[in-house]
C-alpha cells in the first residue's frame, strides 16, 4: 500500500488546535467516567484515541460529538467555547461522527445514504411546498464527492445492502467527510473488517485528512493506529495519560502507558507529542 505524507508531519512547529477539551468530568451515579480529561486535536492530523475498557475514551468522544453533556469542564472549537446539547448541535458546528454501527440504510441507494437527513429539494416554490427531492442533483453530487475521495464504487444508484462491509464503511466515512466543516470522528471504523477491506478504509481516512479535515480515530487495533495516526492520545482512568508520537515510540511502550505499567514521565522526550 502506498504511503501518504500528512500535513501534520510536514511541519516542525505544532499546527493550530482545532478542537480542545479542558478538565472534562462526567459521572454516571457513583462511577466517574471522566475525571478532569484534557484533549487537543490539531489541524491536518489523524489523532488516534486509545485506552483500556473503562479508560474514559468513549465518554470523551461522546462529549466531543454532542451525544453526552459533561458535568464539568469546557470544550473549545477554534478557540471558542461551545456547548453541545445534542449530536445535532455538533453537526451544525461542522463535526461529523461515524459510529461503529454505521447508521446506513441498507435498502437505500448510496446516493440516498450520502444525503440521508440532508436531502436536497428541487429548486423553486413547488419543490419547497411539496418537499420534492432533487434526486438528479443528489446523484451528481454523490458521484463527485465519492470520486473526489477516490472511492471505487461502480454506481451510486446501487443499494447499500449490495456492498461489502468495507464499502459500506467507506460510504459512511464519505458521508461524514462530505458534510464536516471542522472535524471527523470515527469510532472503530475497521472493526470486523478483513485485511483488504480494513486497508481500504485506512486509505480513505488518510485521504480525508489530506483534504484538510482533522480526524479523531478511536480504535483497539494497534497496528492500524500506528499505521495512520500522526499522534496518539492515551486515555487512562478517566484522564489523558499521555500524547505520543507513533514514529518515536514502540507499540509495547504505548500499551505499557495505556495499562499503567509505565508512566508518561518515563517516556523519552522524542516519544511525547
pLDDT at position 166 is: 85
| pLDDT for residue 2 is more than 80 | no
Q: pLDDT, tens digit, for every residue of 125-171?
A: 877 777 888 889 999 988 988 888 888 787 889 999 998 888 888 88
Q: Is the pLDDT score of 34 beyond 90?
A: yes
Specify if 83 maps to a domain.
yes
Global confidence as pTM = 0.87
Spell out the residues 6+ positions from residue 138 whose beta carbon is closer than 8 angstroms to its own. Answer: 111, 112, 114, 115, 119, 120
Supply the CATH number for residue 88's domain. Answer: 3.40.50.300
CB 113 within 8 A of CB 161: no
Give the residue carrying C-alpha cell 494497534: 222
Residue 31 lies in a domain: yes
Would you say residue 8 has pLDDT above 70?
Answer: no
Q: What is the pLDDT of residue 5?
A: 47
The SS3 assignment for 46 reads: strand
Which range marks the domain in which residue 266 is found?
A: 16-97+180-198+211-271
Q: Please report whether residue 85 resides in a domain.
A: yes
Question: Does residue 165 form part of some domain?
Answer: no
In a domain, 67, yes or no: yes
Whether 63 is covered by a domain: the verdict is yes
pLDDT of 13 above 70: no
Going from the C-alpha of 228 to that of each of 144, 202, 217, 256, the distances in angstroms are 25, 7, 9, 20
Q: How many domains are contained in the chain?
A: 1
Tell me whether residue 138 is in a domain: no
Q: Does a structural domain hold residue 184?
A: yes
* Mean pLDDT in residue range 46-60: 95
**Distance between CA 77 and CA 93 in Å, rounded?**
9
Amino acid at each position: 500500500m502506498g504511503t501518504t505524507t500528512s500535513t501534520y508531519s510536514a511541519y516542525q512547529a505544532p499546527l493550530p488546535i482545532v478542537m480542545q477539551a479542558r478538565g472534562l468530568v462526567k459521572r454516571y451515579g457513583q462511577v466517574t467516567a471522566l475525571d478532569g480529561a484534557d484533549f487537543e486535536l490539531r489541524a491536518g492530523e489523524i489523532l488516534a484515541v486509545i485506552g483500556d475498557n473503562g479508560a474514559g475514551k468513549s465518554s470523551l468522544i461522546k462529549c466531543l460529538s454532542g451525544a453526552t453533556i459533561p458535568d464539568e469542564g469546557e470544550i473549545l472549537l477554534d478557540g471558542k467555547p461551545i456547548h453541545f446539547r445534542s449530536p445535532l448541535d455538533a453537526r451544525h458546528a461542522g463535526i461529523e461522527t461515524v459510529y461503529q454501527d454505521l447508521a446506513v440504510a441498507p435498502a437505500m441507494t448510496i446516493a440516498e445514504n450520502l444525503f440521508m437527513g440532508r436531502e436536497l429539494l428541487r429548486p423553486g416554490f413547488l419543490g419547497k411546498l411539496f418537499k420534492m427531492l432533487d434526486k438528479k442533483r443528489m446523484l451528481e453530487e454523490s458521484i463527485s464527492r465519492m470520486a473526489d475521495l477516490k472511492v471505487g464504487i461502480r454506481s451510486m444508484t446501487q443499494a447499500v445492502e449490495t456492498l461489502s462491509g468495507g464499502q459500506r464503511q467507506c460510504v459512511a466515512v464519505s458521508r461524514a467527510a462530505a458534510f464536516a466543516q471542522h472535524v471527523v470522528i470515527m469510532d472503530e471504523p475497521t472493526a470486523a473488517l478483513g485485511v483488504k477491506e480494513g486497508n481500504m478504509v485506512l486509505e480513505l481516512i488518510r485521504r480525508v485528512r489530506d483534504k484538510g479535515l482533522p480526524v479523531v480515530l478511536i480504535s483497539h487495533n494497534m497496528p492500524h493506529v500506528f499505521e495512520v495516526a500522526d499522534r496518539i492520545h492515551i486515555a487512562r482512568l478517566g484522564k489523558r495519560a499521555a500524547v505520543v508520537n507513533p514514529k518515536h515510540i514502540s507499540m509495547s511502550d504505548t500499551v505499557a502507558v495505556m495499562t499503567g505499567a509505565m508512566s508518561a514521565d518515563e517516556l523519552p522526550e522524542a516519544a511525547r507529542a
